[in-house]
Amino acid sequence: MAPEMTTLKGKPFDRASLESLMRRRMFYTPSFDIYGGVSGLYDYGPPGSALTNNIIDVWRKHFVLRENMLEVDCTMLTPHDVLKTSGHVDKFADWMCKDPNTGEIFRADHLVEAVLEARLKGDKEARGEKVEVEEEDPKKKKKKVKNITIVKLDDAAVQEYQEVLNKIDNYNGEELGLLMKKYDIRNPANNNELTPPVAFNLMFQTAIGPSSNLPGYLRPETAQGQFLNFAKLLDFNQQQMPFASASIGKSFRNEISPRQGLLRVREFLMAEIEHFVDPEGGKKHPHFDEVKDVELELLNREVQLEGKAEVETTTIGKAVETGLVDNETLGYFLARIQLFLLKIGIDPKKIRFRQHMANEMAHYAADCWDAELLTSYGWIECVGCADRSAYDLSVHMKKTGAPLVVREPRKEPLRIEEWQCELDKKKFGPKFKKDGKTVEAAIEALSQDLREKLSLDMEKEGKIVIDVAGVGDGKVEVPKELITIEKRTRVENVREYTPNVIEPSFGIGRIFYALCEHSYWTREQDEARGVLSFPPTVAPTKVLIVPLSSHTDFKPFVRKLSNSLQDIGVSSRVDDSGASIGKRYSRNDELGTPLGITIDFQSVKDNTFTLRDRDSTEQVRASLDDICSAISSLVTGREKWADISARLPKFEGQEVD
């Protein structure tokens, strides 16, 4: 089970208070709310939209700009054939079970997880330990275990449940069905038995065009558009390898039973990178030395398979050196992912990287690590970083014949001795007629060992017999007058290879929500009103402008300050309501506004203003130019508040209720 969640200041975390704040201040709201809403769909309000855009802005600078990535924006509608080739039509599924009496649907792994966690909570209560029980929101329609039975379990059962929970992502449908039988897991609402788990494809299906002749899907990821454009991107990059493409956009997954608010939704924003690398030479990265000393908390698959959850704290350099992380490029991106998360304000004590186990590995992945963030819902995957090998480019190339490969001149010509088959086309065509292309393709596909064997058959028998599916009885005889098989030397001046792909994939909505939890706290003197301590770089609004009163003398200064902040690209809001200064600041602390400027009568006299820091509530006083310079430094991350308060005169007083 996940450790207990705490606020930014280390106090017990109250999710209901944060979610109430986020809805009340319109960070997000259920879509179609006045019609009763649709589970798994949410709209973002002004502060939520601004926070999302600011996270994306930092992401672009940290990855796209820093790494000279090629950003593309591909369509969300995807033809069936593309996703059939990529494997999503057959394999992009979760396990679903059903209550045959009520028709209620459950996601099998989530149900097993919820029931076992509820039993462990009941055991804790039976042992006299305090257990937090969530208040239920009837609008959320979550399928969770409502009534926790207080029953003390055997120590062995507790350990067994915890081991199952630690391995929950590694079970397939059959294994989940066996767990449901073993632990008698039923519908928590009515104790009905459930059907065995079956696979449910998560893609939204549609038809493209009025005739519905072209079936398609809403994309489940942004990656496929990047793979299909690989040859054009390589050309745009002047055939230089390695390189990376990037894409930011909406993706869609028809979740079986959306729960956990913004963490499991049916439409979500993704930011994905496809880093194309030469597989020869160990997938080295030219900038790996810059991150090799970054320390990560790693939870490897062997530990998970033992039913444990202990992490190993190690530098990424050591993890790659020992083979725990497969290669430098994968390791480079794991370190860069952590640096990005820290930059936007994620709590460093609430980040870990978990390696995928065999059964949960995506069908394309050679190795995969998830950046997981601790939330009140437990450890949640927010970024996946997969080595997709050459899977995607290979399958699309095989399906379409498009040359999704890299061709580069060799430094020295490569001499290759090989068995070559040469056909007499003038005789071959008339002999096999309509089957000619099929037979020719079968000959081209012959391995070197088989060609050598067939050359001996040719000498001995004067003919060869090969397997060709769909022609005659599947065996085709080719006489020696139609084909020559001999060993020749071929000189290769150009190397051709299919790149491998390292893919960091970011769920922006999940990062958004985790950041809100990690930034939330309450002041001891005002626990009813929360504070969201977003870093100035990502805060929805950077500055609150607060005139002391509605006095007409203050109005020109409000306009002047707003214009000056706009000129340096800083967002601001004005609060000139009749509430006290303290209340006005307090309600904007809820929005995460990091800085406040007060206009008072001294401002009218000498053109100076106070600048307030949200977290410490400290204030300094300075001229407009100095205030704007300080704000610019804070918003761009060049300075912290401690630097500003050290060089500008402190100001006492003013913030009173």
The whole-number average pLDDT for the span 318-334 is: 96
CA 180 to chain CA mean position, Å? 30
Please state the φ and ψ torsions of residue 590, each to the nearest 5 degrees.
-65, -30
CATH topology of domain 541-647: Rossmann fold (3.40.50)
The most confident of 43-57, 80-94, 566-580, by mean pLDDT: 43-57
Whether 206 has a pLDDT exceeding 90, the answer reads: yes
User: What CA–CA distance (Å, rounded) separates 166 from 302?
Assistant: 12
How big is the CA angle at 497 (ends 492 and 503), to the nearest 5 degrees? 165
User: What CA–CA distance (Å, rounded) separates 247 from 245?
Assistant: 7
Residues 6 or more apart from 128 whose CB is under 8 A from it?
none
DSSP state of 6: B
Look at the block and give the residue holding tokens 């601790």: 374
The residues spanned by each domain of the chain are 15-74+219-392+500-508, 94-201, 411-494, 541-647
For the chain, the maximum distance between any two Cα atoms, rounded to a whole number of angstroms, is 110
User: What CA–CA distance (Å, rounded) separates 317 from 338?
Assistant: 14
Amino acid at position 653, single letter: G
Whether 43 has a pLDDT exceeding 60, the answer reads: yes
User: What CA–CA distance (Å, rounded) separates 376 from 137?
Assistant: 16
Question: Count of H helices and E strands in the chain?
Answer: 22, 29
SS3 label, residue 199: strand
Listed residue (134, 132, 133, 114) closest to 19, CA to CA: 134
Share of the chain above pLDDT 90, in %: 74
Q: What is the CATH number of domain 94-201?
A: 3.30.40.230
CATH topology of domain 411-494: 3.30.720
pLDDT band at 168 (very low <50, low <70, confident <90, very high): confident
The whole-number average pLDDT for the span 30-48 is: 96
Alpha helices in 153-300 (DSSP H): 155-166, 173-182, 223-228, 230-236
Q: Considering only the top CATH level, what class is 15-74+219-392+500-508?
A: alpha beta
Are β-strands 406-423 and 483-497 bridged in parallel, bridged antiparallel, or unpaired?
antiparallel
In this structure, of 115-119, 130-134, 297-301, 350-354, the range with the lowest mean pLDDT score is 130-134
pLDDT at 364: 64
The whole-number average pLDDT for the span 415-442 is: 90
pLDDT in tens, 98-153: 999 998 999 999 999 989 988 998 888 888 887 665 544 444 444 456 567 888 88
